Every structure is written in structure tokens, then in C-alpha cells.
Amino acid sequence: MEGLERIVLAHPFFAGLETELGPVVAGCARNIRVGPGQYLAHEGDSADEFFLIRQGRVALEILPPGRHAVVLSTESEGDIVGAYWLVPPYRWQCDARAVELTRAIGIDAKCLRAKCDSDHHLGYELMKRFLPLIVQRLDQTRLQMLDVYGSRPA
Amino acid sequence: MSVALSAGTSVSGQAWSRIGAIDPFVPQIYRVSRVWRESSDIVTLAIVPTAGDRPEFAPGQFNMLYVFGVGEVAISMSGDPAVPGSFVHTVRSVGAVSGAVAALEAGATLGVRGPFGSAWPIELAEGSDVVFAAGGLGLAPLRPAIYQVLARRERYGRVVLLYGTRTPTDILFRRELERWRRRLDIDLFVTVDHADETWHGDVGVVTKLIGRGGFDPPNTIAMVCGPELMMRFTGTALHAAGLRSEQIYLSMERNMKCAIGLCGHCQFGPTFVCVDGPVMRYDRIVDFLAVREI
Amino acid sequence: MTKVDLPVGSKAVLSLEGLQSLIDGLAARGYQVLGPTVRDGAIVYDAVAHLADLPAGWTDRQDAGRYRLERRADNALFGYAVGPQSWKRFLRPPTERMWRARRTDEGFVVDAPDTAVPKFAFLGMRACELHAIAIQDRVLIDGPYLDAGYARRRQDNFFVAVNCGVAGGTCFCVSMNTGPKADAGFDLALTELLDGDDHCFVVEVGSAAGGAVVAGLPHRLASPADSTAADAVVAHTAQNMGRTLDTRGIKELLQGNPNHPRWDDVAQRCLTCANCTMVCPTCFCTTVDDHTDLAGQTAERTRSWDSCFTLDFSYVHGGRVRSEAGARYRQWMTHKLASWIDQFGSSGCVGCGRCITWCPVGIDITVETAAIRATQSGASQTESNNDGAGETDHGGT
């Protein structure tokens, strides 16, 4: 478990986390390895796990009927995949597919939610890390949506 | 009171800035020597003067290209300043004049006024890491700077190129990008805004790539070129990554008529994009970059 | 009479005959003499050969959006302020051909522009107009690039200024430090003295060329009494300015308030007709037109006056940067009073009042500035009550 704790704390997402909380988080974590083309999650699945990418590339996708899957964005080393575990109904709203061989830390959502309920300090430390990420992602999505390179550029 | 002017009165600096020298209002005649079709609406032209030598230019500068009877358009140089003899311009057909320029064939003549404008800070960046952040067609005005930096690679730290465009088919200068990627001394990241599963690269905006570069923020010069919105977001993101405003340079664009600061059209706040820019340091313009309709 | 050139700074007195001799003398030296005349109910600059061409006995009544000529009780030749035109009409004509191109077998060639220009003598220039020309010199000659046509037209000018005896209803040269006394940039400066039948001009020599010209005219040297009388005329004018403009901190005021609600207020009134830019003596924006003849064999580029108020002025592919009227008004006023300082080291405004007079809806740049100054932190409507329980009215996010 000690090796996993080190890996968890080494991930950029947990930068600055108090060392005492390391084992607490690691207690919900596992090391995973996903081959190219394999899915980490499907749209509609229960959001029981979120992922800290250590290596590789994961595409967040939606499949419109009768067309190729649209890649909404790709996440790589240092990024987080999955925020649906934070808010009810805890369901994935898109697919997450490994584009290439990907190594990640999977964190059990129910486990971590329970620990946050009993230790609000842990909960707050996680919120402080998640919220800026979500705001940043919102900005990036907005810029993406503006289609600035389109034929009538914004 | 009469102005004490006489023919040939000179002033330090500019070549054509006094009566008797080449009038910067009058085009020189050039001929198209080569055309590359980059995509359905983007064309690269190499043009050579019909008389005299091609003037020296610095990366970031632009020419006013004139098509007989149609009009003039400001286009940045996209070629290597070290290669003599021709100007290279990459043009997207978006209107009457740019469309006419993009339709020129080898052998056709056009008028050229220039080079005009300010340059990318190539010398100033020596000793630092360099980040090129290009969006869409913005890769073209950055290309001369990339050439110059790669030609003197030993003078720089890490060199990073972040390139974002709309879809995989819109990737400009693809073969050149692949060639650069094969070098071991430049870090190249390409992303697209929209793709389907047949694209195995990054999907997302170019600002997402900023975290990857491995450059050292206190010792970095960033040169950003692309649609204005992309540059605004990128400037903010670079700032958030630890670069000071004085380390970031953008290439601005406004309506150009005279290109020499005398017609007023290209004003952007208190600056004239044709003489104070197009390359401008971020701290100079950040306050009014986001003012509506300035 | 002496034929020795009068030194710079000296003063002489010309009679009406002397003034006519001045006009004749300048014409004899090959100058195209231009001065004020009355036409179409306004004072306009045109060729003058005789004193009878000048607006003797006329004055103007100017206010926001209003200009009328009225008869004076006397026959003063220069008893008015300024008309709709400025001298930029001659120094940088409204339309100019830049060059012509011809198709050839190999492609096309561009023919160098015609460089012949007349030698101008301007009679009746106001102090504000001298400042305006100095400002345009700074823009068009002193920058990194030179407007060759303007520079050619500025060579060999002879400037005869007139110190204003009448303050215009919209004048504020005192606020802008540009008048009413002409203090530099002239060859000769006249102050008209009219007392019953005594009608003469105190002339101050401003240059060696001016001194040489006066030496050849019938004149007498000015006495201290003449100087005092001339000074009194100017002092009187200075006390009767129609408008004032508080220029303290104006750069920060305008550049720091791009979202002030006053811009929306002006937008409701401004027609974006561009009158103000046409009559303004310092506005220099131009556009170019490229056209061909019907056969497509000859192409021409002409340059014409343009205005930042036109919708397409700021057009870039994809659209116009400034489509709202408020944005265009803000651009003009901020440029004129604030950005000009960054660009050229001085205000762009000389306080001549033309933009106020000739605005069809009477928008007044001095009133707009004062309005912004009065509520400069008023960009948001938020007001919080100190008791903490009050409601905060949001201007919106």
C-alpha cells in the first residue's frame, strides 16, 4: 500500500496535500492499466470511480447515432478524468476510452465520498482541488465552442 | 511658417521615410514564382521582385499585396528570412482581395508594399526557453520566427511549439510539422477543437497544451498568433502558468489601408497595429484587449 | 519707409491699402493666396485677390448644431471665428490620386505620382488653426513614415495669421492653450484694429520671410499704443470663450472609462454622420479606393478623407470591430482627447469648436467630457447600504 500512497501523492492533482491524508486517499485507490481502445467508463454507467492519469491519453466521447463518435476532449498525463462522482445521480454522461496504453490511479468514489462525509477537512481539500479544475475546463470548453478557427472566425 | 524641408532630408531609422526615397505608398511589381495549395481555401505563394532585390525582413512583419484593380490586403510573411530572393505569404481566401491573391497563378504579377510592422522578439529571447503558441492560420506568421530560432538553436533553451486548429484536416504545414517533430530539440504538441475517433491525437483547445511544455516560466518568452479570441485566452493561460505579461507577445490584426500609420484605420486603443504592431507585447495591450468594440 | 527687412518679433502697422499690397505682393511672388470669403451662408476659404473678397462686416453666431452669419455694425474684415472648413482642405485635399497602373504584356506597371503642387499663402489663419497644422505636421511628417504629398504642400507656405477679435460661441482655445493669440508658426500675425474710421492692422513679424515681405509694403512701425490696443483685443476675446474644457487628467479619465454609461447615452443621439471628423482641423483618417477603367487596362488608387464613424472603418474579415455607434463615438473622442497624447505627445484638439457647431444634433465634446468626469466611477450602478441589511442593486455580470 505504501507504494500506491507514494504514487497518489506524486500526482499533480494532490500537490500540497498533507502527508497524513495520503493513506486516507490511497485507501480508496488502485493502480490500473488500460489498453488502447479499451473503455474506462461508458455513458450511463454508475460513476463509481474517477481517474488520475499518469501516462497515456484518454478520449471523452459521445456517440451520435449513425455517426463516428465525437471526441469532446482528450486528457493526458497529469489530468483528471471524471467529475460525475461528485454530484448526484453519480452517472457518467460520456464515454471514456483509452486512445493509447494508459496507466492511471482509479479512486473508488463511494469510498472517498464516505471519508469526506466523516472528515470535512479532507472534503474541503478535495473541493479546493476539484473546483479550479472544473472552472478551467469550463473556460476551455467555452473557447472550444466558440469555433475560433471556423470559416467565419469569432 | 514654411516647413524647413528639402529633398533628401533624412531621418535616422526608416529607409523610406523622406521625400526622394521610395514612396511607401507606391507598390513595387513582383511576380509569383510558386504556388502551394495548402487546403481548399488556403494558398502559399512565393513572389520575387521584377526589379532589384527582395528587401530584408524580420519575422512578424507583413507586406501589403496588391492585385491589379482589385485592392490591397495585409499578409504576414510566412517564409524563412534567411532564404533570399523571394517573399513567401500564406493567404486564406475570405474576401474579394484575399480571394484574388489566393487565385494568383505562377507567372502572375502583383504589387507589393512593405515590409512593414514590428517583429517577433527573436534576439530578445536568446538565452530563454521559447514557446510558440499558434492557432489555426496563426501558424503562418509564426513560421519565420520558428525558422530563425531553429537556425540558431544553440542560443535558446527549450523550444516548444503548441499548435491548435479546428479539425485534423485543417492542420497547416503538416509535412513541416512532422519534420520538426522528428528533430530531437523541439517539443511539438498539436491539438484540434473537433475530431472523431479516427484522430488519435489531442482534442481540446490549445491552452490545454500549456501545461505540457516543460518550459521554465520565469525564463520563457512566448509568441502567440491566431484568432484574437484564441490569443486572449492563451495570454491569460500563459499568465496563469507563471509568465509575466512582459514575457508574452501577440500578433494583432486590424483593418489596414496605408500600413504606415497615416490613415488611422488600424488603431487599437492608442496603438497603430501597422507601426506599433502587429507584434505587440502583452502588457502594453492587456488592459484593452477585452474592452468591447475597442 | 525703409526697405530693411523687419526682424522677427517686431511689430508694424498696415493700413487697408497695406493689406491689399500684402495680397498683391504674395501673388506676385507666385503664391496661390487663399483666405476667407462668404459663400452659401458660411465663411469658406477660397482664392482671394482683393480686400472686397474678404467677409467685411460679417460675423458668425455659433452654438451646438447651429451656425448663422450675421451683419456686423462695422466693416471688420476678420470679425468672426471659424467656418466649417480648415486649411487641411488644401494641405491634404479631400481626394487625391496616389498613382496609376497600366497593364502591360508582362503584367502591369505603376506610374509614379504627379508631384507638382501649388505654393500656398494662407491669409486669416487663427491661432487654433496654426496649432492644428502643427499637430498634423507631427502626425504626417514627423513620424516614422512621411505623407509625401502633405510634405510637398507644406513646403514654401506663407502663413498670415489673424489674432481673433471675436470669440466663437463654441470656441474653447483658451482651455486647450491654443489661442486666441497666435504665438508661433506664422510668418505674419495681424490684429485688426477698428475704431470708427480708423481701420488698420498691427502686424507681428514671425519669420525672416515675413519680415522681408513687410519691408516691401507701405507700413509704419508699431507704437506702444498700437501694441497695447492689439493686446487688448486678444485679452477681450480670451475672456469670452463660448466653452471650456477641463483637461486635467483627461487621458486617464477617458481611457479609464471605456464602459461608462455616457457612451450609451451619446450613442442614442449620435447619427454617425461624420460631420465632426470632416470639419475637424486635425482629423487625418483616409481611405483608399482601387478601381479600374471599364476595359480593365488602367487601374488607379485614390485616397480620400475617411471617418472613424463609418461602419466599415474598422472592418476585418468576419465583421466590423466597432459596430455600435457608442463604440465609434468613444473611439473618436478618446482618440482626439486622450490617445492622441500617447501617439503624438499632445492633445489632438485645438478647441476650435467646429465639431460642436456642425454636429446636426449638437453633441458637445466639452459637455460629454464633463459628464464623464462628473460620474467617472459610475460605470456600475451598485450602491450598498452601510447598515448591511440593504439590497444591492446589481448592474449585471
> What is the per-residue pLDDT across B211-255, written as a single tens digit (0 to 9) for each?
887 899 999 999 999 999 999 999 999 998 999 999 999 999 999
Residue range of the domain that includes A21: 2-145
In a domain, C356, yes or no: yes
Tell me the nearest-neighbour CA distance from C85 into chain A, angstroms: 41
Of B3, B26, B261, the CB nearest to C137: B3
Angle at C149 between CA B278 and CA C329, to 5 degrees: 55
Q: Could you tell me if B93 lies within 8 Å of chain A, comparing CB atoms?
A: no
**Statement: residue B19 has pLDDT above 50:** no
Confidence of residue B290 (pLDDT cuts 50, 70, 90): confident
Q: Which class would CATH give B28-116?
A: mainly beta
Q: DSSP character for C196?
A: T
Q: C69 versus C112: which is more confidently predicted? A: C69
Q: What is the mean pLDDT of residues A77-106?
A: 93
For the domain that residue A100 is a member of, what is the CATH number? 2.60.120.10
Q: B1 vs C157: CB contact, 8 Å cut-off?
A: yes
**Statement: residue C392 has pLDDT above 70:** no
Q: B94 vs C318: CB contact, 8 Å cut-off?
A: yes
Number of domains composing chain A? 1
pLDDT, residue C362, reads 97
- Residue C34 near residue C83, CB atoms below 8 Å: no
- What average pLDDT does chain A have? 91
- Closest residue in C to B262 (Cα) is C140
- Residue B289 near residue B236, CB atoms below 8 Å: no
pLDDT digits (tens, 9 = 90+) for A102-130: 999 999 999 999 999 999 999 999 999 99
Q: What is the pTM of this model?
A: 0.89
pLDDT digits (tens, 9 = 90+) for B153-198: 999 999 999 999 999 999 999 999 999 999 999 999 999 999 998 9
Quote ipTM for the complex: 0.90
Which string of b and e fits C140-173 if b means at least 16 CB within 10 Å? bbebebbbbbbbbbbbbbbbbbbbbbbbbbbbbb
Tell me the nearest-neighbour CA distance from A151 into chain C, angstroms: 9
Q: A74 vs B207: CB contact, 8 Å cut-off?
A: no
Residue reference for cell 481566401: B93
pLDDT digits (tens, 9 = 90+) for C226-252: 999 999 999 999 999 999 999 999 999
Q: Could you tell me if C134 lies within 8 Å of chain B, comparing CB atoms?
A: no
Q: Could you tell me if C240 lies within 8 Å of chain B, comparing CB atoms?
A: no
Tell me the nearest-neighbour CA distance from B201 into chain A, angstroms: 8
In chain C, what percentage of residues exceed pLDDT 90?
88
- Closest residue in C to A148 (Cα) is C318
pLDDT digits (tens, 9 = 90+) for C277-297: 999 999 999 999 999 998 989
Q: Could you tell me if C331 lies within 8 Å of chain B, comparing CB atoms?
A: yes
Chain C residues in contact with A153 by the CB 8 A cut-off are: 317-318
Tell me the nearest-neighbour CA distance from B202 into chain A, angstroms: 5
pLDDT, residue C114, reads 80
Q: How far apart are CA C49 and CA C58, in angstroms?
A: 18
In a domain, A150, yes or no: no
Q: How far apart are CA C363 and CA C333, in angstroms?
A: 11
Confidence of residue C394 (pLDDT cuts 50, 70, 90): very low
In a domain, C256, yes or no: yes
Chain B residues in contact with C157 by the CB 8 A cut-off are: 1-3
pLDDT, residue C389, reads 46
Q: Same structural domain for residues C52 and C82? A: yes
Q: A64 versus C77: which is more confidently predicted? A: C77
Q: Same structural domain for residues C192 and C296? A: no
Whole-number Cα distances in Å, C316 to B180, C66, C202, C321 = 32, 36, 54, 7
Q: Could you tell me if C316 lies within 8 Å of chain A, comparing CB atoms?
A: no
pLDDT digits (tens, 9 = 90+) for C314-347: 999 878 999 999 999 999 999 999 999 999 999 9
Chain A residues in contact with C317 by the CB 8 A cut-off are: 153
Q: Same structural domain for residues C234 and C275? A: no
Of B194, B203, B212, the CB nearest to A59: B203
User: Counting every residue, how long is chain A?
Assistant: 154
Residue-wise DSSP of C290-346: EEE-TTSSEEEEEEEE--TTSGGGGEETTEES--SHHHHHHHHHHIIIIIHHHHHSS
Residue reference for cell 495669421: C161
Q: Same structural domain for residues C30 and C87? A: yes
Chain B residues in contact with C317 by the CB 8 A cut-off are: 94-95, 98
Residue range of the domain that includes C356: 250-374
Q: Same structural domain for residues C233 and C123? A: yes
CB count in 10 Å sphere of residue C183: 16
pLDDT, residue C386, reads 42
Q: What is the mean pLDDT of residues B14-31?
A: 69
- Residue C238 near residue C232, CB atoms below 8 Å: no
Confidence of residue C383 (pLDDT cuts 50, 70, 90): very low
Confidence of residue B21 (pLDDT cuts 50, 70, 90): low
Number of domains composing chain C? 2
pLDDT, residue B11, reads 30
In a domain, A17, yes or no: yes
Q: Same structural domain for residues C138 and C228? A: yes
Portion 27-86 of B in contact with A at CB < 8 A: 41
pLDDT digits (tens, 9 = 90+) for B74-131: 999 999 999 999 999 999 999 999 999 999 999 999 999 999 999 999 999 999 999 9
Q: Provide CB contacts within 8 A for C105, sequence distance 6+.
A: none
Q: B260 vs C144: CB contact, 8 Å cut-off?
A: yes
Portion 84-123 of C in contact with B at CB < 8 A: 98-99, 101, 103, 106-110, 112-113
Q: How far apart are CA B233 and CA B193, in angstroms?
A: 14
pLDDT, residue B1, reads 45
Portion 338-367 of C in contact with B at CB < 8 A: 338-339, 342-343
Q: C299 vs B68: CB contact, 8 Å cut-off?
A: yes
Of A61, A71, A140, the CB nearest to B208: A140
In a domain, A153, yes or no: no
pLDDT, residue A153, reads 46
**Statement: residue C391 has pLDDT above 70:** no
Least confident of B7-16, B117-126, C198-207, C384-393: B7-16
Least confident of A5-19, B40-54, B92-106: A5-19
Has domain B129-251 been given CATH number 3.40.50.80?
A: yes
Q: Left if phi > 0, otherwise alpha if psi is -120 to 50, otherwise beta: which for C103? A: beta
In a domain, A151, yes or no: no
Going from N- to C-terminal start, the domains of chain B cover 28-116, 129-251
Could you tell me the three cell numbers for A74? 482528450
Q: Same structural domain for residues C51 and C190? A: yes
Residue reference for cell 542560443: B155
pLDDT, residue A152, reads 56
Confidence of residue C102 (pLDDT cuts 50, 70, 90): very high
The separation between the first and the last C-alpha atoms of chain A, rounded to the nearest angstrom, is: 51
- Residue C332 near residue C282, CB atoms below 8 Å: no
Q: Same structural domain for residues C76 and C157? A: yes
Chain A residues in contact with B165 by the CB 8 A cut-off are: 149
Q: Same structural domain for residues C192 and C302? A: no
Q: B1 vs C186: CB contact, 8 Å cut-off?
A: yes
Q: What is the 3-state secondary structure (H, E, C) of C305-316?
A: ECCCCCHHHHEE
Confidence of residue A66 (pLDDT cuts 50, 70, 90): confident
In a domain, A25, yes or no: yes
pLDDT, residue B155, reads 98
Query: Pairing between strand C158-162 and C188-195?
Result: parallel
Confidence of residue C46 (pLDDT cuts 50, 70, 90): very high
In chain A, what percentage of residues exceed pLDDT 70?
96
Q: B196 vs A67: CB contact, 8 Å cut-off?
A: yes
Residue-wise DSSP of C106-151: TEEEEEPPP---PPEEEEEE-HHHHHHHHHHHHHHTSSSS--HHHH
pLDDT, residue A4, reads 87
In chain B, what percentage of residues exceed pLDDT 70?
93
Whole-number Cα distances in Å, B15 to B116, C145, C185 = 11, 9, 29
Interface test with A, best of B170, B208, B224 (most A CBs within 10 A): B208
Q: Same structural domain for residues C46 and C85? A: yes
Could you tell me the three cell numbers for A11? 500526482
Chain C residues in contact with B264 by the CB 8 A cut-off are: 284-286, 306, 308
Q: Same structural domain for residues C130 and C91? A: yes
Q: Same structural domain for residues C207 and C256? A: no
Interface test with C, best of B2, B18, B230, B268 (most C CBs within 10 A): B2
